């Protein structure tokens, strides 16, 4: 199968995916309800979600997808009681519920990815387009995902936004952009034959260039232990500025993550932007290894979410939390870093960034 057609490339010319720190219209969450995602440990999850929703709502509107009105009522009651960063309590005026049924809560991976028309693009194209990538449950690993795969089009219709289907499998957690022509991703995920076996590296790069509006594709290698996504970038390395990347590092050579993270750090230090300039590379620690029911969990401080005026970060009740909070506060001056307890969340094999999806404000590409 060939890459995008010339017609499709022309249609997307002038659009690009904004960096996560660009202004948001809102954040999407999908309220948790799938007991199989947190087997034997679902009970605390809705309360943690409520705390995460309240934390984000301190900075921007939150749009929560629910299966029905009864779920919305239960969620609202939990959010009302959730601790919030502001002394005044949860900003319920910024919480909106939408009945859009889902199979699971990981909206980062199946939700729409919005691209904005650059002001210099000219013409009379729409200010914003929603990309509706195919979702196949991380390589057909789990059960039904038909409702999740419909979410991008449902949300595009709800907000009056045109939707385009690139026609290939791609999850939002597998990519990270700097808004200035570069995208970070991993070989272990995007080149995995359980996603797009008919596409090679060059063809996948062309899809990313055309649909995300990037010029440079930066490849890391493997993901962390316990990551069932085959190595999503949002557990490894993230842009924190157009010219800066923060990556997690493992300091214990005996740890299962040491070799992969050391290799990724070396790759990052050799990377260049489209003008040939090196990126500034910053580091975050890894939390101590977490296990549940004999399984290594993919706990990582890289799974933070950037909101308007804030950074929402997973915490793991350990000494490394303070170092990670201080690092992100330094890297995001002017934004408040808020921790969300993630030890129970990560039993579902994901954390804060995996459970959020930004809707960038139109016209700020």
232: left (phi over 0), alpha (psi -120 to 50) or beta: beta
pLDDT of residue 124: 65
Catalytic positions are 354
State how far the Cα of 350 lies from the Cα of 8, in Å rounded to an integer.
33
What are the C-alpha distances in Å from 176 to residues 170, 317, 320, 365? 12, 27, 24, 14
State how far the Cα of 224 lies from the Cα of 296, in Å rounded to an integer.
10
Query: E strand or H helix at 74, and its extent?
Result: helix 69-81
The residue behind tokens 């199968």 is 1
Per-block mean pLDDT, blocks of 10 residues, the chain (365 long): 77 92 98 97 97 97 98 97 83 96 98 90 79 98 97 97 96 98 98 97 97 97 98 98 98 98 98 96 98 95 98 98 98 97 97 98 72
Which parts of 121-224 fold into alpha helices (H)?
137-140, 146-158, 187-190, 201-212
pLDDT of residue 1: 56
What are the C-alpha distances in Å from 181 to residues 23, 78, 243, 246, 299? 18, 41, 11, 17, 29
pLDDT of residue 122: 62
Do residues 66 and 74 touch, judged by C-beta distance below 8 A?
Answer: no
pLDDT of residue 365: 52
Do residues 343 and 290 touch, judged by C-beta distance below 8 A?
Answer: yes
6-360 CATH pick, 3.40.50.300, 3.40.50.360, 3.75.10.10, 3.40.50.1000: 3.75.10.10
pLDDT of residue 239: 98
pLDDT of residue 11: 80
196: left (phi over 0), alpha (psi -120 to 50) or beta: beta
State how far the Cα of 337 lies from the Cα of 341, in Å rounded to an integer.
13
Do residues 232 and 174 touch, judged by C-beta distance below 8 A?
Answer: yes
Class of residue 360 by CB neighbours under 10 A (exposed 0-12, middle 13-18, buried 19+) = buried
pLDDT of residue 267: 98
180: how many CB neighbours lie within 10 A of its CB? 17
Class of residue 23 by CB neighbours under 10 A (exposed 0-12, middle 13-18, buried 19+) = middle
In 3D, which of 26, 179, 49, 60 has the Cα closest to residue 106? 49
pTM over 0.75: yes
pLDDT of residue 13: 87
Q: What are phi and psi of 67, to 5 degrees?
A: -80, -25
Do residues 268 and 259 touch, judged by C-beta distance below 8 A?
Answer: no
How do residues 219-241 score in pLDDT, each as one tens digit? 999 999 999 999 999 999 999 99
Q: Where are the domains of the chain?
A: 6-360
Residue 239 DSSP code: E
Do residues 31 and 254 touch, judged by C-beta distance below 8 A?
Answer: no
319: how many CB neighbours lie within 10 A of its CB? 10
The residue behind tokens 């038909």 is 146
In 3D, which of 174, 177, 365, 180 has the Cα closest to residue 274? 180
């Amino acid at each position: 199968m060939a890459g995008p057609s010339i017609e499709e490339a022309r249609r997307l010319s002038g659009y690009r995916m904004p960096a996560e720190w660009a202004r948001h219209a809102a954040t999407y969450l999908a309220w948790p309800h799938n007991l199989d995602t947190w087997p034997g440990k679902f009970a605390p999850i809705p309360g943690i979600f409520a705390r995460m929703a309240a934390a984000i709502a301190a900075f921007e509107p939150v749009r929560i997808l629910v299966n029905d009105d009864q779920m919305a009522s239960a969620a609202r009651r939990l959010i009302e009681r959730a601790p919030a960063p502001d002394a005044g309590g949860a900003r319920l005026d910024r919480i909106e519920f939408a009945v859009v049924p889902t199979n699971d809560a990981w909206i980062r991976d199946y939700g729409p990815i919005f691209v904005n028309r650059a002001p210099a693009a000219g013409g009379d194209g729409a200010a914003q387009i929603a990309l509706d990538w195919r979702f196949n449950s991380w390589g057909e690993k789990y059960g039904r995902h038909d409702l999740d795969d419909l979410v991008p089009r449902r949300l595009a219709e709800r907000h009056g936004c045109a939707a385009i289907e690139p026609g290939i499998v791609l999850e939002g957690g597998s990519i990270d952009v700097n808004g200035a022509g570069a995208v970070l991703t991993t070989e272990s995920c995007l080149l995995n034959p359980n996603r797009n076996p008919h596409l090679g590296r060059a063809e996948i790069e062309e899809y990313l260039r055309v649909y995300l509006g990037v010029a440079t594709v930066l490849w890391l290698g493997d993901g962390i232990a316990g990551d069932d996504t085959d190595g999503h970038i949002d557990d490894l390395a993230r842009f924190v500025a157009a010219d800066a990347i923060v990556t997690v590092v493992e300091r214990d050579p005996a740890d299962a993550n040491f070799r992969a993270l050391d290799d990724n750090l070396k790759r990052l230090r050799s990377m260049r932007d489209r003008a040939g300039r090196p990126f500034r590379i910053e580091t975050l620690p890894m939390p101590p290894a977490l296990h549940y029911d004999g399984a290594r969990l993919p706990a990582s401080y890289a799974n933070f979410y950037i909101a308007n005026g804030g950074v929402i970060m997973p915490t793991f009740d350990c000494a490394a939390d303070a170092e990670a909070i201080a690092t992100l506060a330094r890297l995001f001056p002017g934004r408040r870093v808020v921790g969300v307890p993630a030890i129970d969340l990560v039993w579902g094999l994901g954390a804060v960034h995996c459970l959020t999806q930004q809707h960038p404000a139109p016209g700020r590409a």
